[in-house]
């Protein structure tokens, strides 16, 4: 669990851009030092992926300290808002050779290019693409930034169609429930609340039996 809460929210909103990145992290058994914004929510259920909530602007420093203390580069990364990627953070990231997973609407591509830091970009709502970018970064030996492009759900929803669960196809496996989306009920079979669904489609990507479809 995180050591420090840095934002007032207590659950991820439907359509939160951190949900798919955290799902990709769990798929790869990655843990993180979190930065500001809502990144610390990844230390709560259902993800439990944040080991240390370092606070705004401190995720890379925390990662550097942990790696120097013996943490494995392939198991611990920095999770932070993309707005916290600056020249100082990139210098520290390069020094420790770590990986930063940055989420938000502001791309740090030009900063990474100027700092000669490996950079990859994916939609914050595409779990498979994020996992692929992380695998590529993990397979290398140098510092890397994986940028997940997405706006806060409170400012702008992903804009996709609403989704529903086809009860005849649902196997009640609980995969969608493990996303912690408030739009998905805990009932069996689960139901997607159409009024709360933001249309991000992350649940449909992770459903193993194809039961989640556009409404």
Angle CA 69–74–80, to nearest 5: 80
**DSSP for 36-48, written as a single string:** STTGGGGGSTTT-
The confidence score (pLDDT) of residue 177 equals 87
The confidence score (pLDDT) of residue 6 equals 41
The confidence score (pLDDT) of residue 59 equals 98
The confidence score (pLDDT) of residue 159 equals 61
- SS3 assignment, position 76: strand
Ordered mean pLDDT values, 10 residues apiece, the chain (215 residues) = 47 92 96 95 93 96 98 97 97 97 97 97 97 97 96 75 89 90 88 92 94 91
The confidence score (pLDDT) of residue 65 equals 97
The confidence score (pLDDT) of residue 187 equals 82
The confidence score (pLDDT) of residue 158 equals 60
The confidence score (pLDDT) of residue 7 equals 43
Please write down the long-range contacts of 11-14, taking CB distance under 8 Å and 24 or more positions apart.
Answer: 11/41, 11/44, 11/180, 11/182, 12/38, 12/41, 12/180, 12/181, 12/182, 13/153, 13/154, 13/182, 13/198, 14/153, 14/181, 14/182, 14/183, 14/196, 14/197, 14/198, 14/200
Strands 31-34 vs 76-81: parallel, antiparallel or unpaired = parallel
């Amino acid at each position: 669990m995180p050591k420090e809460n840095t934002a007032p929210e207590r659950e991820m909103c439907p359509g939160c851009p951190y949900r798919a990145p955290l799902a990709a992290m769990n798929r790869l058994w990655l843990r993180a030092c979190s930065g500001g914004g809502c990144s610390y929510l990844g230390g709560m259920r259902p993800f439990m992926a944040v080991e240390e909530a370092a606070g705004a602007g401190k995720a890379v420093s925390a990662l550097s300290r942990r790696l120097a203390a013996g943490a494995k580069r392939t198991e611990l990364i920095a999770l932070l808002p993309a707005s916290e990627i600056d020249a100082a953070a990139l210098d520290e990231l390069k020094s420790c050779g770590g990986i930063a997973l940055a989420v938000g609407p502001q791309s740090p591509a030009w900063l990474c290019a100027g700092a000669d830091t490996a950079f990859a970009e994916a939609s914050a709502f595409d779990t498979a693409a994020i996992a692929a970018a992380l695998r590529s970064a993990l397979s290398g030996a140098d510092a890397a930034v994986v940028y997940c492009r997405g706006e806060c759900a409170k400012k702008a929803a992903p804009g996709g169609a609403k989704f529903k669960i086809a009860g005849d196809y649902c196997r009640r496996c609980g995969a969608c429930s493990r996303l912690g989306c408030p739009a998905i009920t805990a009932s069996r079979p689960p139901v997607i609340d159409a009024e709360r669904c933001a249309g991000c489609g992350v649940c449909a990507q992770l459903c193993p039996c194809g039961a989640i479809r556009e409404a």
